Chain A
Amino acid sequence: MTSALPAERTRRFPIVLFVAVALIAAIVLDTTGSGRASTTGTARPFASVAASIPPADARSSAWYCAAGSAAPGGNGDETVFVTNVASHIVRADVIVMGDANTTVPRRVDVPGLTRVAVHVADVVATPNPGVVVESIGGPVVVEHEIRNGVSIAMGPCARQAASTWYLPAGTTVKGAQQWLSLFDPFPDDAIVDVTFLTDTGPQAPQALQGLVVPRHTKVNVSVHDNVPRQGIVAAQVHTRIGRVVAEQSLFFDGSNGRFGMTLASGAPATAVDWYLPAGVVVGGTDSLVVANPGDSQATVVVDVVLDGEAKLTPQSVPVPDHSVVSIDLMSRVPANTGFWVRAHSDKPVVAAQSVFTATASATVTASPVLSRRWAFASARSSVPSTDVIVAANPAPRPVTLRVDAILSGATPPIIGDQSVSIPPGARALVNLSERNVPAGAGVLVTTDEPVAVERVDSNPQTMSAALGIPGAS
């Protein structure tokens, strides 16, 4: 018997061929392309830093200022600086939350490109204020200044609450008070666990586990009472429920040779790269504090970049798990030589700078991000001081730097020729005091490549340093 008639064979062949070709073609196309559907979802830029410049088209934004006081006798009389980085007027509500029953708003209209200062105690006198600054209709940047006698510390408020905070540069040596300000600006309570990494090992005081931070309330944690007499105390805050804002302030009474007051914002996340642009200390100590909250040892390469031609070999520092180390930067830096620091770790860590002079102290949480745009709500501190903007360029190419004041509805350039070139790996300093930048101005720094920018305010009695507020270009 013959097989299928020729007519059948002819009819079958095109069908089978078509099906086969279609399937083969589909297989080929499927393997050559991903074709994966993009799910945009939501992505918050600069999520790894506490503060960032809100988007220009933001309907509303909020800033949270945790540290500070608004009552006579409180540690750190607080003033909030609100600077409108848009050209149109923005409505800002400065809301002072004393506790769940004390929430006092003060509405402020901030003209375009203008800074407004609000003394918190003028809104409501409360010893433990948490301040929320909300802007409606435009972006603002917010910093706060804490004053304790002659000491002043100024730094940005946070623009996000987080479930985790790292504050590495603390100490509870004799004469030092380390305060942790935990602020819950939300309408529901938060429950947190506060642990510490010290130079003698991790500590988790029982009293600070399951600590309730009530809604619309700030809780001050006296670290020095819970972890006394530790040379280095790196605080970690983890929330079980809710989110908080964390800041750290240190007060030195001089009994251990340290004076002054510091203010540092927390880092909401660990990172492998950290930048500290402003390293210059005359007659003091400048340390890089690295905390490793992870479960395995981290090796941190600390690159101290000197001003000028001199070079230092990067230093590799092991940081054991659940520990904190302090690296003396001055031991390798020639006298009177400025520098900046970049640290690269093989595991996520948190870095900060701790500076002590004979009369003043400052702590700065390093920046894990680089940006082409940085803002400062206040160019100058409220006391006469030398205020310097320092920009470090880690890129292998030169960067053009522009520094403008935000003042009275305009952005006059601070640098005469309107731009400065920063060589690769170098940094640039802009002395705002010498350039007579008014105290009521904000500062806007723009570059053509991502850089890190810091502000240092100092006078013989006090010192303050803080990284700028990065923003999308």
Chain B
Amino acid sequence: MSSEHPTADGAALLAPTGPVEPVPVPPPVVAVVVTHDPGPWLEETLSSLTASDYPSLAIFVLDAGSAEDPTPRVAAVAPHAFVRRLSENVGFAAAANEALDSVEGATFLLLCHDDVMVEPSAIRVLVEEAYRSNAGIVGPKLVGYDNPEVLLEVGLLVDRFGVPFSGVEPGELDQEQHDTVRDVFYVSSAAMLVRADLFNELGGFDPATSPDGEDLDLCWRALLVGARVMVAPDARVRHRATVGSRAERNGRDATAVRRRARHRVRSVLKSYSLLNLAWIVPLALVFSIGEAIVYLVSARPAHARAALGAWWWNFRHIPDVVRARRAVQATRTVADSDVRLLQLHGSAQLRRITAGHGSAEDAIRSLGETSRNVVGAARSGMRQPLTVGVLVFLFLVIIGSRSFITKTVPAIGSFLPWPGVGGLTRAYGDAWRPVGLGSAAPAPPAFAAMAGLGAVLLGATSMARTLMIVAALPVGAWGAARLARRFTPWPVATFAAGAAYAVNPVARNDLGTGRLGPLVLYALAPFIVSSLIGLAGPQRDRRMFVRSMLRAAVLVAVVTAFLPVALAFPLLVAASFVLAAPLAGGARVAMRTMAAALAACVGAVVLLVPWSLSQLATPDASAWGMVLHLHLGLSDVLRFHTGPAGAGWAGWGLLAAAALALLVATGERAMWAARAWMLALFGFAAVWVPSRFATGTRVPPPEAALVLAAIGLSLAVGIAVTAFSHDLRTFHFGWRQLASVVGAVGLALPLLGFLADTTHGSWRAPSGDWGQTLSWTSDQSSGDSRLLIVGDPRALPGDPLVARGIGYVTFDNAVVDARSLWRPAPGPTKLIGAQLVLAGRDRTNRIGHLLAPMGVRYIALVDGPAPGQRSMAAPPGLHDTLDAQLDLRRLRTDGSYGLYENTAWLPIRANVPADPSSLRSTDAVGAGLAADFAGARPLTGAPAVPGAALLSTAYDARWHASAGGRALPHLRTFGWANGWAVTAPARVRLHFAGQLARDVQLLVQLLVWAALVAVWWRTRRRRAGRTTVVVAPEPELAEPVLT
């Protein structure tokens, strides 16, 4: 060792002077401490080095351009240390590389940061291990500087893409659980013992990978030249981790995130052989893209940019990368396959991201440890019956939905296929809706929701549709359990409530008959009820109140978007509480619930503007999703048997189980049991009363109205289970105990129906659909046309209209998809029904001519929801009626439905060489009989002949036609459609002039939602605890205590 004292300038050559006695001495180690503007811990770092028990240790401080000369500070603590100052901050790696030139004769270099504290024995242990294992690089156990009991790192592994892994969880305490000397992929440069000759051979660190990548890069290169990289946990070093601030390490510093990603990619590009690069790089790119998407979705755009930008950065620096690569590959002696033994499989980054640990470098966690923890948690959870119950339920849902998942959801009812994101977006944004005979009413916001969900799934709208449909059942069950938690913390009771909601046939009937709106209501209704109850309680935090209010409004808005009549759902809930008040008390809670419901409804209306306003302005009940009531007996209603699903007599079990709450619950539980039952009675009444007393009126879909009852019974079951546990013991043994047994059995009975329905694979929905079967009728070679499907309204896809019991629905060009849902007020579309009734009453035998102005080319008369099904026969006589029409050509089918081609069909956009005035008519129903369509042809790009240009859509003055640059006179043809007089051959262009107004509407809605997001963001500060109704056993409490 040199005897030179530390100097403030110049390099000190640490070369032995004079002859050396051949005495056995430990191999010399030079501790290379790189510092830049060191903090107050520099002295501690140096003191720890001087206190080391290793006898042959020299300290070499490399100051990388500190503002203040650290030499005096070094001298004060380590007078024998050597200091070399660099003129600028070249970074840790470049500074440490100065040791290549400045140090001679050292066997090992201990490269370390200026914020470590080395334990006295650490260096000795490292050296011993280096010799024992013949390791080229040995790292210590890094622990917290201020909390040495907390582990930081004990060596690291990487995956094939260079993403590091540690075996340490954040905050993990050191209990010697990682104290195994082992080979690792790399050790941190915070403190690493490197063989000096190896360091020389490798050329030191690669400055381009510093900071935060130089250690990985160095160790990787060391492995490639055959050196071992090991960790010796007995050597403990405390690390403050100031090289790269804690913020950087935690990934909040975008620059640090970007840097780490770049350096990692550089190391990958340098270190792999060319052959392996050929597949590693594309795969890594794919994973990077996936990583970026996940980051974007989780609102971490900086990480997303870093993931992808790393590649671009290296591509821009490819000459330098190539140079560095050449140097690495020139010295390698080890194949990648050998190095791979120290790498993990898969992508650690994605796994870590999905496990919620964010950026890789800031919350490094061993995949193995993670897996072990997850499995351990699962094992311990599995020992709990409730967890098993939940898993079994989810499994059953998947089994019951297997056909939906593995094949497709049939296009029955409102389960119509979703077009692509672009199609949905256009459907939402276009000013004209081609539903029925068309309308300028605002499109339903449900399209926007569907487009959004499809966009989240990268355009897979089919998957989004399946997900929405399949997930509704478990989401609803979870919501019910969550709702029950307001009244009881007992998991068994909440599970029972969720189970009662899950096995209720309501959702299965929706799935079996294709009722999307009621299904969405089923899924979200418990959350709405929960929000209302929460809002009805005393509010201690204004911010939380606002957020709760917004949440309720958003929930109601979402449900209303899919089922317009559901806007009344919160009011019905509140009304049931109000009605229960005289019986069970709690009038104030009931009134507050009503106020909250009103506010939620108003909020929903505002969020859905302008569609909501147009809905409120329409008196047509069918536009609200109301249906003509089918007869349902009381028995069917009480057992929720409104469709193919059910449990037969076992369906009474739910009522029996819910009745237990009324019989056994005491105190507050009894009051909430009363409210729950009132809710149930409301739901039953909403279905049964119109069926019994007001047949022929339009009412909410039975499955939607029964959601009220399902929630009520579910809540009652949860309270019943709690009462069984808490209240029953207050009674003498008697009928209540027996009733409890009955109730318990009753809860299990509906499960039988649920299990039976899972065997079907698609919840008893038919396997085919009319859209697929009739899609061939979409031939547009002769012009645009409409497909008219007629039959029992329940059997028809989409939103059918009804005329004297005859359901009918049209699809433009036989495109049966979700864009035809949530139709506006029918307008002239009702004429089609009037014409069908006319034919049915023997008032015409030329219905083809009557339908011709509507562009109807094909008529399908169905007797069931899908081909081959005759479960819903068409109204009596309809087959005979259509068979008797002289202008309908009956086409061959499989016999399960009738299909007719209208021989008098007129294209939707047609050019008719007739006097336009002859096409005016005051008889909208019979106009087609008198009209002369001879010579009609589709309106295409070819010049139109003089006569009339017809557009088979509802008349609207905003439709314009022009030919040869001149506007054509607009006429109301057939009493309801659009026509223009064509006086000279010219190409006719049609356009609708209402798009600007629609764009303004969209902007307004966007602003409303932006305001909501802004308010939500502003109130996000703290998250209060859940409001829970603590239903105390003390009977003297008049109001539920919300905590």
Q: Which residues of A contact B (CB under 8 A)?
A: 1, 3-5, 7-8, 11-12, 14-16, 18-19, 22-23, 26-27, 29-30, 33, 35-45, 47, 54-55, 57-62, 132, 134, 136, 160-161, 163, 185-188, 215, 241-243
Contact = CB atoms under 8 A, between A and B. Distances in A.
A225 B604 CA distance: 79
28 contacts: A1-B730, A5-B1035, A7-B1035, A8-B667, A12-B670, A15-B583, A16-B663, A26-B684, A33-B692, A35-B695, A37-B631, A37-B696, A38-B805, A41-B875, A42-B804, A42-B806, A42-B840, A42-B877, A42-B878, A42-B881, A58-B844, A62-B886, A185-B886, A186-B889, A188-B890, A242-B883, A243-B883, A243-B884
B929 A60 contact: yes
B1041 interface: no
Contact of A59 (B584, B634, B806, B843): B843
A40 to B, nearest CB: 4
Contacts of B844: 58-61
Nearest to A17: B583
Contact of B846 (A12, A44, A55, A60): A60
B940 interface: no
A3 B730 contact: yes
A58 B842 contact: yes
A47 B840 contact: no
A33 B583 CA distance: 30
Given A8-B1035, A19-B677, A59 B875 contact: no
Contacts of B884: 160-161, 243
Contact of A15 (B674, B874, B876, B881): B674
Contacts of A27: 634
Contacts of A19: 662, 677, 681
B843 A58 contact: yes
B930 interface: yes
A40 B634 contact: no
A18 B691 contact: no
B842 A55 contact: yes
Nearest to B662: A16
B877 to A, nearest CB: 4
A27 B886 CA distance: 50
Contacts of A40: 804-805, 875
Interface in B1018-1043: 1035
Nearest to A33: B692
A27 B850 CA distance: 47
A65 to B, nearest CB: 14
B960 to A, nearest CB: 33
Given A43-B876, A60-B929, A35 B691 contact: yes
B845 A38 contact: no
B838 interface: yes
B621 to A, nearest CB: 15
A112 B684 CA distance: 58
Contact of B841 (A42, A47, A163): A42
Nearest to B880: A44
A215 B584 CA distance: 74
B628 interface: yes
A11 B671 contact: yes
A29 B846 CA distance: 46
Contact of A41 (B806, B845, B892, B1035): B806
* 9 interchain residue pairs of minimum CB distance: A42-B840, A41-B875, A39-B805, A42-B877, A30-B634, A37-B695, A35-B692, A40-B804, A187-B889
Given A15-B670, A16-B663, A41-B840, A35 B889 contact: no
A382 to B, nearest CB: 28
Given A14-B583, A30-B633, 7 more contacts: A39-B876, A41-B806, A42-B877, A42-B880, A44-B880, A57-B843, A187-B886
Contacts of B843: 55, 57-60
Nearest to A15: B674
Given A22-B681, A40-B875, A58-B843, A11 B730 contact: no
Contacts of B925: 59
Given A7-B1035, A61-B845, A188-B890, A35 B693 contact: yes
Given A3-B732, A59-B844, A42 B631 contact: no
B436 interface: no
B990 interface: no
A41 B886 contact: no
Contact of B731 (A4, A15, A23): A4
Contacts of A134: 845-846, 886
A12 B659 CA distance: 12
Nearest to A57: B843
Contacts of B846: 59-60, 62, 134
B800 interface: no
Contacts of A35: 631, 691-693, 695
Given A12-B670, A15-B583, A42 B875 contact: yes
Nearest to B902: A187
Interface in B783-817: 804-806
Contacts of B629: 37
A36 B631 contact: yes
In this complex, which of A11, A61, A242 has the most chain B Cβ atoms within 10 angstroms of its Cβ?
A11
B360 interface: no
A29 B635 CA distance: 12
Contact of B842 (A5, A8, A16, A44): A44
A210 to B, nearest CB: 15
Contacts of A61: 842, 844-845
A7 B668 CA distance: 12
Given A15-B662, A243-B884, A54 B1035 contact: no
Interface string B940-980: 00000000000000000000000000000000000000000
B151 interface: no
Contacts of B673: 15
A11 B670 contact: yes
Contacts of B663: 12, 16
Given A7-B1035, A12-B670, A37-B629, A136 B880 contact: no
B919 interface: no
A74 B585 CA distance: 93
Interface string B806-837: 10000000000000000000000000000001
Contacts of B883: 161, 163, 242-243
Contacts of A38: 695-696, 805
B906 interface: no
B889 A188 contact: yes
B575 to A, nearest CB: 15
Given A41-B804, A44-B877, A136 B930 contact: yes
Given A1-B730, A27-B634, A43-B877, A186 B890 contact: yes
B487 interface: no
Interface string B636-679: 00100000000000000000000000110011001101100100
Contacts of B115: none
Contacts of A29: 692
A234 B874 CA distance: 34
B630 interface: yes
A161 B929 CA distance: 21
A33 B876 CA distance: 24
Contacts of B584: 11, 14-15
B884 to A, nearest CB: 6
B409 to A, nearest CB: 29
B926 interface: yes
B887 interface: yes
Output the residue of A4, A35, A132, A160 with the most chain B CB within 10 A.
Answer: A35
B929 A39 contact: no
B688 interface: yes
Nearest to B696: A37
B255 interface: no
B499 to A, nearest CB: 22
Contacts of A187: 886-889, 903
Contacts of A16: 662-663
A43 B666 CA distance: 59
